[in-house]
Structure 1
Amino acid sequence: MTRWNDGTDATASVSPDITEETNALPASYFTDPAVHEMEQEKVFSRYWVYAGHANAIREPGEYFTRTIGGKQIIVVRDHDTEVRAFYNVCAHRGSKMVEDTPMTEPGNASSIRCPYHLWTYDLDGDLRSTPQSFEEAGMNPDLEDDDVRELDREKNGLMEVELDTIGPLLFVNFDTDPMSLEEQAGDLKTELESFPLERYEHARRYVSEVECNWKTFSGNYSECDHCQANHQDWIKGISLAESELEVDDYYWVLHYTHDESVEAEESLIEGEARFYYFWPNFTLNMYGNADGYGTYIIDPIDEGRFQLIADYYFESPELSEEEERFVQLSRKLQEEDFELVERQYEGLQSGALAQGQLGPNEHTVHRLHRLAQEAYNA
């Protein structure tokens, strides 16, 4: 049942079943700054979150940085070719060490050095060296050099972050005792690893800042009831009657089937397109007639803004005319969605709606709202 802000403050928890009346998150969970702050710990610090692609750092010493839930990390390939993640924080006095380095422009270093006092770490996180001033007490009249305690390199190393993979896709988890990535991903891990994702090269990246809550866009991505009215170039190539939205514990898959009455060259897809959404904020998109795939990172900035990072992977970073057309059509779809979700968010900000109502084909959105509520209540 739709609930309006009529002075009664009448909202309820998201129902376990979509057929029940209160089947959506209260509107305040999209607009309240306190909810955004809570999500930093209860969502983005407790679940496995996509960090980047292993193909970006093929050689030892290559690294990129990533900020998740307000925590910045360094993702680096060590000298044994293992990919590792560390907080971008020096063990000395907590300085940020490495400047922001996107996955598309990875850095390369034989070690990690903090510019503040030149503490230097090996790529496995162990402390390699400190300046002589940390071994001698020449400026301290109350200490002799022999009194200076030798630093234990392992105990004073960088703080490592849990990292695991689905094929070449790198995920991190900040929890002290997280569920395994295999448990969170379930059959999604097996399914994605059956595809040769590692074969493809990064070809394009688009970064967009959108004026709405991240869950607003996630909900829009997760259903296609809005497609008929808003995505004419997309909808003309698919048969919604034969499409299916599959829901699992922490992910859902949108199977879109090609409309055989439409010529293939007039459609974005041929055969079946699969859009995977992995809680909390990662998607992987496969289009039937594109020999490649796309990923989205839906990164919250605050309660009313998020950043969408859209990456495209093909066999070569030099795109063919057809691949370029595919990317541009996909980008057009994003921009159409940006307009929709910003309009929705304006309505939510008005304060008129207390709690919305989901339709029967929005079971994927219902699962998104349930997962958010379960995280908040944990």
Structure 2
Amino acid sequence: MSTPRALVPETNNPLGESADRGFTLPASYYTDQAIYELEKENIFYRSWQYVCHESNLTNPGDYATKQIADENIFVIRDDNGTLRGFYNVCRHRAHQLLQGRGNSGRIVCPYHAWAYSRSGELTFARNSELVTDFDAQQFCLRAVNIENFLGFIFVNLSETVEPLNSLAADLYTDIREKIPYIDQLSLKEPSVFGGNGIRAGWKVVVDNYLECYHCANAHLDFSDIIDMNCYQMDTFGLWSRQIGTKTKPQNSAYPFSSTDQQQDAVFWYLWPNTTLFSLPGTPNLSVMSIDPMDADYSIFAGDIFGLDNYELNDSRINYVNVILGPEDQRLCESVQLGLRSRSYNQGRFIVNSKHLGTAEHAVHQFHMHVFEALESSSQ
């Protein structure tokens, strides 16, 4: 991989191959609408995006929708039990077909009642028999790539894709190793981290998720759960992991038992915007995506999974929703404002050779991926 050129000629501060010598992405990468437009095409429409868990799609007709930048997608189980993914757009006059999650027999457009089978064929268009040379085969729903990764359903809008299970085979292995009960998990409740929306761009939110350099100062209760001297961060091809293997059952965030199955705190990140994390206590896993709504607005939402003994609204979930989420939301929104200051352009990464979880190696890795994805548009 070649060393990126200087991003801003007047400052000549490159990202660099090495985090200990590199500079962060320039502020314009977070505020420029033109950059965001490139990100839609070069990142979000070419990457694997989390939709839901397979348990959401058990029966024929079960479906779930997903917003990916300006595109809306749905996945559905057809009459033969096959999972399929489609653009959520009627081929007649472009009305959206389905909302949220649920079950649908025929897929009927709310506008003019064009109807589609669960496998995407146009089955009814009123008065189409009166139209010369009308060919229903020309108006089947547009399909998208779909993949099951550890029971989680992802879609990819690109015409040519490498399977996620190949791209992230080592992540697959790592999650199975650290969450041995993953096949027994089922959906317990949806989650929106930090409220209904964050007034900060998706990259600001990813940056914040990828490091705990800020935790001792900004997350006092979180830092009381984990011995930060044992908190480790590692980067891999398209993913990274933060893990705390020494945790405290009695802490100021929420109590848990020393006999609970989940004792580690583990936070995975998968390029470009998927997060998976498990907190100490009864078995649990949250899978959430940081979805862009605009250059300076995003939603951090997904699902919480547990075993049969999972308790809704327990103290752990209350801590995440009421304390940790809002803390991170305030941090991200302040950074987004600061990125528009004429006084700021680029910063430095705080890293160390031991890859402690309080360092910013994973942020550097993320910035490199963003830079390379956007640079490909100019080649």
Question: Could you tell me the TM-score, scaled by structure 1's length?
Answer: 0.86
**Structure 1 CA distance, aligned partners of 2:134 and 2:332?**
57
What's the CA shift for 1:182? 2.1
Q: How has the CA–CA distance of structure 1 residues 266 and 88 changed in structure 2, closer, same or farther, with 3 Å as cutoff?
A: closer
- In 2, the alpha carbon distance for the partners of 1:173 and 1:304 equals 23
Report the Cα distance in structure 2 between the residues aligned to 1:281 and 1:251, rounded to whole angstroms: 10
Change (3 A) 1:8 1:68: closer
Contact 1:97 1:113 in 2 (8 A): no
Provide the C-alpha distance between the structure 2 equivalents of 1:318 and 1:371, rounded to a whole number of angstroms. 37
Cα 1:296–1:359 change in 2 (3 A) is same
Partner of residue 134, structure 1 = 128
SS, match of residue 210 in structure 1: coil
- 1:325 paired with 2:315, answer yes
1:114 equivalent among 79, 104, 109: 109
Instruction: Please give the alpha-carbon distance, in whole angstroms, between the structure 2 residues aligned to 1:265 and 1:308.
Output: 25
Structure 2 stretches lacking a partner, 5+ long? 1-7, 352-358
Amino acid at match of 1:227: C
Number of the residue aligned with 1:184: 167
Deviation at 1:226, TM superposition (A): 0.8
Letter in 2 for 1:210: I
Aligned AA (1:173): N
Whether contact under 8 Å (1:256, 1:274) holds in the other structure is yes
> Hey, what does 2:241 align to over in structure 1?
253
Is residue 2:220 matched to residue 1:232?
yes
Query: Which stretch of the first structure deviates more once superposed, 42-51 or 196-205?
Result: 196-205
Q: Which has the higher strand share?
A: 1
Q: CA deviation at 1:204?
A: 4.1
Q: Sort the Cα spacing of 1:267 and 1:74 in 2 relative to 1 into closer, same or farther, 3 A.
A: closer
Per the TM alignment, residue 188 of structure 1 is displaced from its structure 2 partner at its CA by 0.8
Gaps of 5+ in 1: 1-6, 138-147
Write out per-residue CA displacement over residues 77-135 of structure 1, whole angstroms, 9 at most, x where no aligned residue.
Answer: 11122221100122234x2232432xxxx22221112233332211111222322x211
1:163 equivalenced with 2:146 (yes/no):
yes
Structure 2 vs 1, CA of residues 107 and 24 (structure 1 numbering), >3 Å: closer, same or farther?
same
Shift of 1:376: 0.3
Which AA in structure 2 matches 1:203? E
Q: 1:182 to 1:23 in 2, by over 3 A?
A: farther
Partner residue of 2:333 out of 327, 335, 342: 342
Q: How does 1:293-372 map to 2 (within 5 A)?
A: 293-316=285-308, 319=311, 324-331=314-321, 332-360=323-351, 361-372=359-370
Deviation at 1:8, TM superposition (A): 7.3
The 1:136/1:307 distance shift into structure 2, 3 A limit, reads same
For residues 263-318 of structure 1, the C-alpha deviation after alignment (integer angstroms, 9 at most, x for no partner) is 47976676321101111111111123231111222111111111121432222497
* Aligned ranges 1:1-378 → 2 under 5 Å: 9-20=10-21, 22-93=22-93, 95-101=94-100, 106-131=101-126, 133-137=127-131, 148-149=132-133, 151-153=135-137, 155-193=138-176, 195-198=180-183, 199-206=185-192, 207-259=195-247, 263=250, 271-316=263-308, 319=311, 324-331=314-321, 332-360=323-351, 361-378=359-376
Rounded Cα–Cα distance in structure 2 between residues aligned with 1:238 and 1:128: 56
CA distance in 1, matches of 2:79, 2:133: 29
3-state DSSP class of the match of 1:45? helix
Instruction: Supply the distance in 1 between the matched residues of 2:40 and 2:168 (Cα, whole angstroms).
Output: 21
SS of equivalent residue, structure 1 residue 203: strand
CA shift in 2, pair 1:39/1:115, >3 Å = same
TM, length-normalised to structure 2: 0.86
CA contact (8 A) 1:42 1:376 kept: yes
CA–CA separation in structure 2 for the residues paired with 1:44 and 1:208: 21
Aligned Cα RMSD in Å? 2.3
Distance 1:310 1:91 in 2: 29
Q: Deviations over 1:337-366 (max 9, x none)?
A: 111122222211112111111110200100
Q: Percent identity?
A: 28
Q: How has the CA–CA distance of structure 1 residues 35 and 265 changed in structure 2, closer, same or farther, with 3 Å as cutoff?
A: closer
C-alpha separation in 2, matches of 1:11 and 1:351: 17
Q: Which has the larger radius of gyration?
A: 1
Distance 2:96 2:350 in 1: 48
Further displaced range: 364-373 or 337-346: 337-346
Deviations 1:229-262 (A, max 9, x none): 11111111211111210101111010112246x6
Moved more, 236-245 or 183-192: 183-192
Between 1:201-210 and 1:224-233, the stretch displaced more is 201-210
**Shift of residue 197, structure 1, vs aligned partner:** 3.2
CA offset digits 1:184-243 (Å, max 9, x no partner): 323112333564435322224335211112111111111111111111111112111112
Whole-Å separation in 1 of the counterparts to 2:70 and 2:133: 34
Distance in 1 between residues matched to 2:130 and 2:110, nearest whole Å: 20
Distance 1:334 1:159, change over 3 A: same
